[in-house]
């Protein structure tokens, strides 16, 4: 299987006068279609790693390849297009646009990509919202929904452009355990059905122990890395 | 473009209170600008109308004082065929004389006119308060003050004595009020033929040729042109501007200060919008971060703010025009003179108002450049990291 | 595996599948009573593989979790009734008996493999203390200090705990530098995670009675 994500010797240093090194020579390869968990204490550098993989942040040195394309040398607009087409994000705090309805939020990445929405795409958005169990609240403003609903909206949104990779940072971090279970099962189903590669930061043992691979980050380095088949 | 517009519109409609506040802010600025601009313009127009509306813009005088201009018909023909800017042309024979009333004599200026031609400049028929401006033979009309102070009666005959000593009899058939005290006190108007008879001038002789032109402010240029075109050296061309320098500098000062006020109002509007929009970038930085993480490019994210400025400008412009017109209307309705006429006649210049609307749109779009650049610089990671 | 063990295994698995506890336990009891099977064979060929199939089921979810729990309960009872035979079958220790502790990591509830390991160690003549499932780090360190074992055996079933295992081993090594105790790691997670053996810094890996026997011999 191909490596859809590849990091070679990635270092990340913050600050110019007072330098803080957050990542040290990280090498990482993630296989297409795998479901990966990242664990680590807060401040270990795991979010920085995810942000670099997601091209939201740039490494201070080292190479980053997403879907075979080298990203650490791309300009802002090239990165924006790559993110739009290849990567779906699910964050702990949902990050929906509160001014738009759940349905519009789901379609937003497609809108950014194609500038207009056709019927087929609207049908797909409806389908995705059914998939995440949001049929009844489609037209609610994102700001007026519960945490679980917002998170499911964010999941549907991350899927709309059919990305190769979904990156999630504590996707169930502030949800109750029952909702956590539902969201996790949903992510797993998507992984199985669409072959989407997942990289999920989690501190939740129940989620971590169900991933294909657990990568533990400690002090900016990969401390343990266990995968099972 | 469409996406940016849609997002901008949604941002604005989702916080209606704030949007309304900004639009009203722009509107107040623009309405003040429209009000001041229109007021000053109206003021100037009425002042100018009072000054030169019923006066000669360019006057042909003899080079040598107190000598007649010969062959006046030739000059008239030459002027009317060569200068299309001239809208009224009136020959006159004016000289000082004495009016004998019982035992006293009153100094007057006798002005002989071709009544039809003179009417286009002085609008005597409108100025008549008694009798009519329809003179034949030795009929004359006099200024209101001259008549009242000396108890002159319509229909009575009076003697006029020229400085040379000859006496002629005229009949007063009416009074006029030209709203200028000096004129009302001293003018007596008769036909130009009667004047020639009284003062002993020949048929081709006059003392001055008065004209009004299309654009009174070009009087100095046009008179210069006439001077250089003219082949005669016994006549001179005088324009109203040369004789009213003080008024002109007053008007100029007023125009400048009006412009200054307008410019500062617009500047304060621009600064206001810019600072409010700069704050909305902060307010919406989370949303921008999300959009950028989802792959919106810098151009589109900047356009969101330009569109916000543009939409606010249109809203504020329309509102401002409505406010401004309302203000002008109420001012002309409620600020009145004792006789019911407005204190300042309001002059509504549609192209000026249109320009103000355009200024509102341009200014607020320009004001959104800074926030637009700010949003371009915003990196999604800042938002994601700081929650 | 000889024929009679094969037959026993089949019968036990059928009873387990049918969730028939009385039958399953009587099959085991009978075989132990009449000496048809040794503890080593019982654990290695019958109970161990049963546990393995239950563990792997977790990832395939062919049967539901409550069924798994019933099956684990049956295996647990089978282990309980085996203990008297463990004592009777153990080799008499020569000279001073070596001590061993066996436990699972915090939040690891799969203790049956660890139990079999501790019985194997008893059979091998170790003075064995089975601490059990879900042992907090601090307790594990405390038991090492008090019991001063020669062997520290840790069983890991869920592969998530491999990440914690690494920390614990480092902690044991830094806390007991002068201690001669050897660390032995085993369990389903070790056998089913490809790089686990490369990543974990331990003295021994064990996954069968034979492995434990070899470790004992190596340490003599």
Which other chains touch chain A, taking contact as 3+ CB pairs less than 8 Å apart? B, C
3-state secondary structure (DSSP) of residue A214: strand
DSSP A143: G
| Predicted local confidence at residue B189, as pLDDT | 92
Q: What is the separation of C-alpha B238 from the centre of its chain, rounded to a whole number of angstroms?
A: 22
Q: Is the pLDDT of residue C1 over 60?
A: no
DSSP string, B313-349: HHHHHHHHHHHHHHHHHHHHHHSB-TTSSBSS-----
Of A80, A85, A89, the CB nearest to B296: A80
| Predicted local confidence at residue B118, as pLDDT | 86
**pLDDT tens-digit readout, B102-146:** 888 889 999 999 888 888 888 888 888 888 888 888 899 999 898
**pLDDT tens-digit readout, A130-148:** 888 888 888 899 888 888 8
Q: How would you class A73 by CB atoms within 10 Å of its CB: exposed for 0-12, middle for 13-18, buried for 19 or more?
A: exposed
What gap in Å lies between CA B124 and CA B106, rounded to an integer? 23
**In Å, how far is A208's CA from the nearest CA of chain C?**
7
DSSP string, C12-66: HHHHHHTT-HHHHHHHHHHHHHTTSS-HHHIIIIIIHHHHHHHHHHHHH-SS-HH
What gap in Å lies between CA C167 and CA C149, rounded to an integer? 20
- B2, A115: Cβ pair inside 8 Å? yes
| Predicted local confidence at residue B43, as pLDDT | 83
Triad B239, B242, B245: Cα angle to 5° = 140
Tell whether B300 is within 8 A of chain A (Cβ): yes
Provide ipTM, 2 decimals: 0.89
| Predicted local confidence at residue C92, as pLDDT | 67
**In Å, how far is B3's CA from the nearest CA of chain A?**
6
Mean pLDDT of chain B: 86
Q: Which two tokens stand for residue B160?
A: 């006029």
Q: How would you class B61 by CB atoms within 10 Å of its CB: exposed for 0-12, middle for 13-18, buried for 19 or more?
A: middle
Of A39, A208, A224, the CB nearest to C199: A224
Q: Residue C93 — pLDDT band, cuts 50, 70, 90? A: low
Instruction: Name the pairing type of β-strands A213-218 and A221-227.
Output: antiparallel
| Predicted local confidence at residue B42, as pLDDT | 83
Task: Compare all CA atoms of chain C with the CA of A211 and give the residue at the minimum distance.
Answer: C160
Q: Residue A79 — pLDDT band, cuts 50, 70, 90? A: very high
Tell whether A209 is within 8 A of chain C (Cβ): yes
Write the CB contacts of C210 (distance below 8 Å, at least 6 apart in sequence). Answer: none
Task: Compare all CA atoms of chain A with the CA of B387 and give the residue at the minimum distance.
Answer: A93
Residues of A in contact with B298 (CB under 8 A): 76-77, 80
What gap in Å lies between CA C81 and CA C37, rounded to an integer? 14
Would the CA dihedral through C44, C46, C48, C53 be positive or negative?
Answer: positive
Tell whether B340 is within 8 A of chain A (Cβ): no
Q: Which two tokens stand for residue C92?
A: 């008499």
Q: Which two tokens stand for residue B282?
A: 């902060």
Of C107, C158, C194, the CB nearest to A227: C194
**In Å, how far is B269's CA from the nearest CA of chain A?**
27
Do chains A and C touch by CB distance (3+ pairs < 8 Å)?
yes
DSSP A74: -
- A223, C166: Cβ pair inside 8 Å? yes
Task: Compare all CA atoms of chain A with the CA of C158 and give the residue at the minimum distance.
Answer: A209
Q: Is the pLDDT of residue B197 over 60?
A: yes
Taking the C-alpha atoms of B78, B79, B80 and B81 in order, what is their torsion angle to the nearest 10 degrees? Answer: 50
Task: Sketch the domain layout of chain B as residue ranges.
Answer: 2-51+247-386, 88-206
What gap in Å lies between CA B213 and CA B53, rounded to an integer? 11
Instruction: Name all domains of chain A by residue range, CATH numbers in brackets.
Output: 3-227 (3.40.50.300)
Tell whether B3 is within 8 A of chain A (Cβ): yes
| Predicted local confidence at residue B255, as pLDDT | 83
Most confidently modeled range among A94-103, B71-80, B173-182, C139-148: C139-148
**Which one, of B112, B110, B115, lies nearest residue B95 by Cα?**
B110
**pLDDT tens-digit readout, C168-182:** 999 999 988 877 889
- B293, A82: Cβ pair inside 8 Å? no
**pLDDT tens-digit readout, C65-89:** 888 899 999 999 999 999 999 988 8
Pair B302, B372: CB distance under 8 Å: yes
**In Å, how far is A83's CA from the nearest CA of chain B?**
5
**pLDDT tens-digit readout, A168-207:** 988 877 777 887 888 888 888 889 988 999 999 988 887 8
| Predicted local confidence at residue B336, as pLDDT | 77
């Amino acid at each position: 299987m191909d490596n859809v994500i590849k990091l070679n010797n990635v270092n990340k240093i913050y600050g110019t006068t007072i330098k803080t090194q957050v990542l040290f020579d990280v090498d990482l390869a993630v296989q297409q279609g795998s479901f990966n968990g990242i664990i680590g204490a807060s401040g270990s550098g795991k979010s920085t790693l995810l942000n670099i993989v997601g091209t939201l942040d740039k490494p201070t040195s080292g190479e980053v390849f997403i879907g075979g394309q080298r990203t650490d040398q791309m300009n802002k607009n090239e990165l924006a297009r790559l993110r739009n087409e290849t990567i779906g994000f699910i964050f702990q705090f949902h990050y929906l646009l509160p001014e738009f309805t759940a349905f519009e939020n789901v379609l937003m990445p497609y809108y950014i990509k194609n500038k207009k929405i056709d019927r087929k795409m609207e049908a797909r958005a409806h389908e995705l919202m059914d998939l995440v169990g949001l049929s009844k609240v489609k037209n609610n403003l994102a700001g007026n929904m519960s945490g679980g609903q917002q998170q499911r909206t964010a999941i549907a949104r991350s899927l709309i452009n059919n990305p190769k990779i979904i990156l999630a940072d504590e996707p169930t971090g502030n949800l109750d355990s029952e909702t956590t279970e539902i969201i996790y099962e949903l992510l797993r189903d998507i992984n199985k059905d669409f072959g989407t590669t997942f990289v999920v930061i989690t501190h939740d043992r129940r989620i971590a122990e169900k991933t294909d691979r657990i990568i533990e980050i400690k002090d900016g380095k990969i401390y343990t890395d266990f995968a099972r088949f | 473009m469409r996406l940016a517009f849609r997002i901008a519109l949604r941002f604005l409609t989702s916080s209606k209170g704030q949007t309304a506040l900004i639009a009203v802010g722009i509107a107040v600025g623009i309405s003040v600008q429209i009000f001041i601009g229109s007021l000053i313009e109206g003021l100037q127009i009425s002042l100018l109308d009072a000054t030169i509306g019923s006066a000669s813009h360019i006057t042909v005088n003899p080079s040598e004082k107190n000598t007649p201009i010969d062959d006046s018909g030739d000059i008239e023909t030459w002027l009317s065929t060569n200068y299309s800017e001239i809208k009224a042309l009136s020959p006159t024979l004016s000289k000082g004389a004495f009016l004998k009333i019982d035992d006293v004599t009153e100094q007057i200026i006798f002005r002989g006119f071709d009544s039809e031609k003179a009417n286009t400049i002085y609008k005597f028929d409108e100025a008549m308060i008694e009798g009519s401006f329809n003179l034949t033979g030795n009929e004359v009309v006099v200024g209101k003050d001259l008549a009242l102070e000396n108890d002159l009666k319509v229909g009575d005959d009076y003697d006029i004595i020229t400085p040379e000593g000859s006496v002629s009899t005229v009949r007063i058939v009416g009074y006029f009020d030209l709203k200028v005290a000096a004129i009302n006190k001293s003018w007596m108007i008769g036909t130009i033929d009667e004047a020639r008879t009284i003062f002993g001038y020949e048929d081709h002789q006059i003392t001055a040729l008065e004209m009004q032109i299309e654009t009174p402010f070009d009087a100095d240029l046009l008179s210069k042109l006439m001077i250089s075109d003219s082949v005669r050296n016994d006549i001179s061309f005088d324009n109203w501007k040369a004789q009213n320098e003080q008024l002109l500098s007053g008007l100029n000062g007023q125009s400048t200060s009006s412009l200054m006020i307008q410019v500062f109002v617009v500047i304060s509007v621009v600064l206001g919008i810019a600072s409010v929009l700069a704050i909305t970038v902060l307010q919406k930085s989370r949303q921008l971060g999300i959009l950028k993480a989802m792959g919106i490019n810098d151009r589109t994210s900047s356009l969101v703010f330009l569109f916000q400025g543009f939409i606010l400008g249109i809203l504020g412009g329309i509102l401002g025009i409505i406010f401004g017109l309302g203000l002008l209307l109420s001012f002309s309705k409620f600020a009145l003179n004792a006789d019911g006429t407005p204190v300042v006649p309001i002059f509504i210049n549609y192209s000026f108002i249109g320009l103000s609307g355009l200024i509102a749109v341009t200014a607020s779009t320009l004001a959104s450049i800074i926030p637009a650049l700010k949003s371009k610089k915003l990196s999604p990671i800042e938002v994601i990291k700081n929650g | 595996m000889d024929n009679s063990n094969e037959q026993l295994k089949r019968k036990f698995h059928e009873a387990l599948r049918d969730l028939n506890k009385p039958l399953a336990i009587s099959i085991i009891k009978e075989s132990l009573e009449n000496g048809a099977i040794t503890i080593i064979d019982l654990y290695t060929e019958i109970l161990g593989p049963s546990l393995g199939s239950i563990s792997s089921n977790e990832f395939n979810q062919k049967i539901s979790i409550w069924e798994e729990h019933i099956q684990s309960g049956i295996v647990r009872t089978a282990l309980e009734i085996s203990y008297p035979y463990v004592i009777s079958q153990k080799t008499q220790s020569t000279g001073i008996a070596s001590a061993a502790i066996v436990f699972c990591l915090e939040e690891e509830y799969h203790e049956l493999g660890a139990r079999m390991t501790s019985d194997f160690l008893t059979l091998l003549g170790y003075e064995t203390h089975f601490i059990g499932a879900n042992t907090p780090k601090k307790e594990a360190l405390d038991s090492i200090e008090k019991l001063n074992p020669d062997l520290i055996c840790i069983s890991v079933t869920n592969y998530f705990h491999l990440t914690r295992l690494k920390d614990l081993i480092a902690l044991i090594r830094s806390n007991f530098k002068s201690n001669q105790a050897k660390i032995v790691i085993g369990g389903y997670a070790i056998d089913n995670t490809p790089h686990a053996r490369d990543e974990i810094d331990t003295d021994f890996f064990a996954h069968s009675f034979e492995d434990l026997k070899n470790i004992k011999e190596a340490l003599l």
